[in-house]
Amino acid sequence: MFGRDSKTNARIDTLVGKSARVQGDVEFTGGLHLDGRVAGNVRAVGDPAATLSVSETGSIEGSVEVPNVMLNGAVTGDILARDRVVLGAKARVQGNVHYGIIEMTLGAEIMGKLVPLPNSPAATIDPALASASVKKGP
């Protein structure tokens, strides 16, 4: 439904359509899918599993503070995603990206810094487990 990638299990509670223009800050819980444009900050309130997905036609002019972000559109502002950021091939970010885990597809552009968060899932991986999964040469 709504053209979601079948690999993602993101729940969509709110949809901002392609022709919609939101002027001002947006606060949400659950899942927000953005095909339109937001001129303001986007923030998840009190939901550690909240997800923001922005399609190729979607854009945000403001900061983003959501635990999970899947971006294929544009963000002009900083992104703070404590859990995961997934940047698709058409993703464009003009700002810093603070992340727990990051996935980038070839073609994604970031005009800013990549900043890993200290208490993120990626930072708390047990070194013994990490080295056990690395395949050594013959």
Q: Please state whether the predicted TM-score (pTM) of the whole model is above 0.95.
A: no
Instruction: Sort strands 114-116 and 68-71 into parallel, antiparallel or unpaired.
Output: unpaired
Which residues, 6 or more positions from 9, have their beta carbon under 8 angstroms from its beta carbon? none
Tens of each residue's pLDDT in the chain, 138 residues: 344 443 445 688 999 999 999 999 999 999 999 999 999 999 999 899 999 999 999 999 999 999 999 999 999 999 999 999 999 999 999 999 999 999 999 999 999 999 999 876 555 444 444 433 333 344
35 phi-psi bin (left φ>0, alpha ψ -120 to 50, beta other): alpha
| One-character DSSP codes across 68-116 | EEEESSEEES-EEEEEEEEE-TT-EEES-EEEEEEEE-TT-EESS-EEE
